[in-house]
Amino acid sequence: MDKVMSNKYVIALYVLPALLLILAIIYVPIVLTGYYGLTEWNGIGAMKFTGFDNYARVLQDNAFWQSAGHSLLLAVFSAVSLFGYLLVALVLSGKVKGANTFRKIYLIPMLLSSVAIAQLWLKVYHPTNGVLNSFLESLGFSNPPAWLAETSLVLGALFIPILWQYAGFYILIYYAALKNIPASLEEAAKIDGANAWQIAFRIKLPLIMEVIKVTIVLAVVGSLKYFDLIYVMTDGGPNGASEVMASYMYHQAFRGFDFGFGSAVGFVLLLICLIITWIIRKLTESKDTIQYS
């Protein structure tokens, strides 16, 4: 058995194709991004090594920090909205008839492409014929705003479809975690006289803390690299009011042909994602995890 199962040629045959592929498509490019950031390059011609000039430029670039601020705001929104998802999941995981159907319905938007979602919400927000402004007008608001054209409203307006897209995903994760809690714990608490509120917040939430931490990281890092929907809906506009880090990088590289600077932005984006993941991990670290099985 051992001899057959440690045959080096077979192992190489099974592992190398996939391994070489992720090295070539994921890991080599990550290193190259860091390196390209040290050069001046238009994407086609010769590279000129310029040391840390691009990175210094990124750090002093107001437009970059503005986009980073927008990304961070989206991340905070996303993290806060997790609380709402958690409440829905708590309700759903109670003895609700049709819970399975509900969580499936909630999940539908998550399965659609960001392009389709973006195009659909462009229509929802359409100033004159969109369903949102039609609704507001029927309620008596005479001059509803052009949501995506106002610098002060655009980020909030973009966040709604993001919420719509991901709600089902987080509700599904929380629901699965809550359903994994043994029913005996809840019964014991009931016998001891705990009410539904206490059971939810004193017993269930602490038990799924690990899952909550994971979702915070997912939501925050996911928001920091958010791109598709914003690229399609506003392309960072109006006037940079909805530019985020990934779209800023894309514009610098593939529109401005400043691939050196774009790479530097891309590498800083990677570092920010890794650092923030690490910080959230540290902040939510607990000395002892609760076991229940």
Partner 1 sequence: MKIVSAGRLPAEQSYEGKSGLGKIGVGLLYVVLVAVACLQVLPLVWLFIFSLKNNQEVFNLPPFALPPSPHWENYAKVWTEGNISLYFFNSVWVTVISVVFTVLLASFVTFAITRMKWKGSKLVLGLFMIGLMIPIHSTLIPLFSMFLKLNLTDHPLSIILSYIAFNLPITIMILLGFYYALPREVEEASVIDGCSVNRMFFQIVLPMTSSVVATTAIINMIYNWNEFVFVNTFISSDKFKTLTVGVQNFIGQYTTDWGAIGATLMISILPILISFFIMSNRIVEGIAAGSVKG
Q: Backbone phi, then psi, for 17, in 5-degree steps? A: -55, -50
- Secondary structure of 94-150 in HEC code, one letter for each residue: CCCCCHHHHHHHHHHHHHCCHHHHHHHHHHHCCCCCCHHHHHHHHCCCCCCCCHHHC
Q: Could you say whether residue 100 binds partner 1 (CB under 8 A)?
A: yes
**Nearest distance from C-beta of residue 148 to partner 1, angstroms:** 14
In the complex, what is the shortest distance from the CB of residue 25 to partner 1, in angstroms, rounded to a whole number?
A: 3
Distance (Å, whole) CA 211 – CA 175: 11
> Which CB atom, from 65 or from 257, has the smaller least distance to partner 1?
257
* CB-based contacts of 254, cutoff 8 Å, min separation 6: 262
Which residue is it, tokens 């608001």? 141
Rounded to 5°, angle at Cα 35 from 34 and 40: 110
Residues 18-77 contacting partner 1, CB under 8 A: 18-19, 21-30, 32-33, 36, 43-44
Selection from 112, 102, 88 nearest residue 170 by Cα: 88
Q: Considering beta carbons, is residue 155 or 174 the nearer one to partner 1?
A: 174
**Closest separation between CB of residue 76 and partner 1, Å?**
19
Sole window of 64-72, 115-123, 142-150, 198-206 interacting with partner 1 (rule: CB under 8 A): 115-123
Q: Which is nearer to partner 1, 28 or 80 (CB)?
A: 28
- Of the residues 54, 72, 168, 204, which one makes contact with partner 1 according to CB under 8 A: 168
Site for partner 1 in 250-279 (CB under 8 A): 250, 253-254, 259, 262-263, 266-267, 269-270, 273-274, 277
What minimum distance in Å lies between the beta carbon of 60 and partner 1? 21
- Window 211 to 250, contacts with partner 1 (CB under 8 A): 211, 214-215, 217-218, 221, 224-225, 227-228, 232, 246, 249-250
Q: Which is nearer to partner 1, 92 or 148 (CB)?
A: 92
* Whether the Cβ atoms of residue 280 and residue 215 lie closer than 8 Å to each other: no
Which of 96, 188, 275, 279 is in the footprint of partner 1 by CB under 8 A? 96
Which of 115, 188, 275, 279 binds partner 1 (CB under 8 A)? It is: 115
| Distant-in-sequence, close-in-space partners of 270: CB < 8 Å, separation ≥ 6 | 30, 33
**CB closer to partner 1, 157 vs 221:** 221
Judged by DSSP in three states, 39 sits in strand
Select from 61-69, 73-81, 114-122, 282-290 the region that touches partner 1 (CB under 8 A): 114-122
C-alpha–C-alpha distance, residues 65 and 73, integer Å? 12
What single letter denotes the amino acid at residue 24? A
Residue 40's DSSP bridge partners are: 48
β-strand partners of 288: none
The residue (of 5 and 139) whose beta carbon lies closer to partner 1 is 5
> With CB under 8 A, what is the number of residues at the site for partner 1?
101
Q: Which of 38, 74, 177, 219 binds partner 1 (CB under 8 A)?
A: 177
Q: What residues from 183 to 202 belong to the interface with partner 1 (CB under 8 A)?
A: none
d(CA 163, CA 268): 26
